[in-house]
Amino acid sequence: MLPPEIRQESIKEKILELIFPGDIYCAGCGKPVERGRLYSFCDECLDSIIWANGRNCRICGKPLESWYPSDICSGCAHSVRNTDGGVVCFIYQGCVRDMIRSLKYSGRGYLARIMGQILAEKIIYEDLDFDVCVPVPMFASKEKKRGYNQAELIARFMCGFLGKPCMPELLTRTRQTKPMNRLSAAARRSNIKGAFSVPAELADEVTGRTVLIVDDIYTTGSTVDECAAELKKAGASKVFSAVMASGRNQRRLPEEHASDKDDKAV
């Protein structure tokens, strides 16, 4: 049974489900599909999806190209990470991008159930264990305007499938930040620095525990890193990340392979 928080917050989604049932419309493109489709994807969308089921970065989970000479992606190889590992479900493109954007910007909150199931099955497949889940928080005014935090919806459904506690109150967003999509990696780190905190009265809920951070998209990792830093500062023993989709490996080679002139690395 889903936790009470989901049942309380899903009235709007249930109404939408009656109008626009998630299992008869493709989760990617929105076209009608027969019931029982895998994750409610049509054939065209399923064929276009790039699943992160091959070689993945052992730190963040981002997919790696087959030729790439390291098990650490370029982003993690050139950064100090605060996470102890991570999982990614998809490459962020095509119908996956459309699905996530529909959840975030088009009010299709019921898509979070599908994403939560996919993420839960990925976590089971990767045998990733954790004590408590914390979604990346939104600034209060932005969440109020949108009507929900998409990372929290995904996390709650995921935890419902896994039977794990979801505690969004363990991490708060202390200030509004600029949109990240047009910022460089350095600007993203600066923009998000100091934007999260663990409430002092809830630090005991974090101390000594393994925490899983959930978000919808992983790009440079600056947001997840900042969240992980605050959770570890509060006493978390380990912090992992789980996201729906990420960009591709940036293909900048680790230093030990910097002299590699393979044309594919260009």
pLDDT tens for 24-48 read 789 999 899 888 888 999 999 999 9
Residue 264 counted as domain residue: no
Domains contained in the chain, number: 1
Three-class SS of residue 229? helix
pLDDT per residue over 47-89, tens digit each? Answer: 999 999 989 999 999 999 988 889 999 999 988 999 999 999 9
Residue 28 counted as domain residue: no
| Count helices and strands in the chain by DSSP H and E runs | 10, 6
Q: How confident is the model at residue 251 (pLDDT cuts 50, 70, 90)?
A: low
Q: Are 115 and 107 in contact (CB under 8 A)?
A: no
Within 85-204, strands assigned E span 86-91, 132-135, 172-173, 196-197
Residue 45 counted as domain residue: no
Mean pLDDT of the region 195-216: 96
CATH of the domain at 62: 3.40.50.2020
With tokens 């990696």, the residue in question is 185
Give the pLDDT confidence score for residue 13 in this predicted structure.
52
Domain, as residue range, for 193: 51-249
Residue 259 counted as domain residue: no
pLDDT per residue over 124-171, tens digit each? Answer: 999 999 999 999 999 888 898 889 999 999 999 999 999 999 999 999
Residue 121 counted as domain residue: yes
Q: How far apart are CA 153 and CA 110, in angstroms?
A: 9
pTM for the full predicted model: 0.85
For residue 188, the surrounding DSSP H or E stretch is: helix 185-192
Residue 30 counted as domain residue: no
Portion of the chain with pLDDT greater than 70, in percent: 83
Residue 265 counted as domain residue: no
With tokens 């895998």, the residue in question is 38
Residue 238 counted as domain residue: yes
Q: How far apart are CA 182 and CA 200, in angstroms?
A: 33
Q: How confident is the model at residue 119 (pLDDT cuts 50, 70, 90)?
A: very high
Q: How confident is the model at residue 21 (pLDDT cuts 50, 70, 90)?
A: low
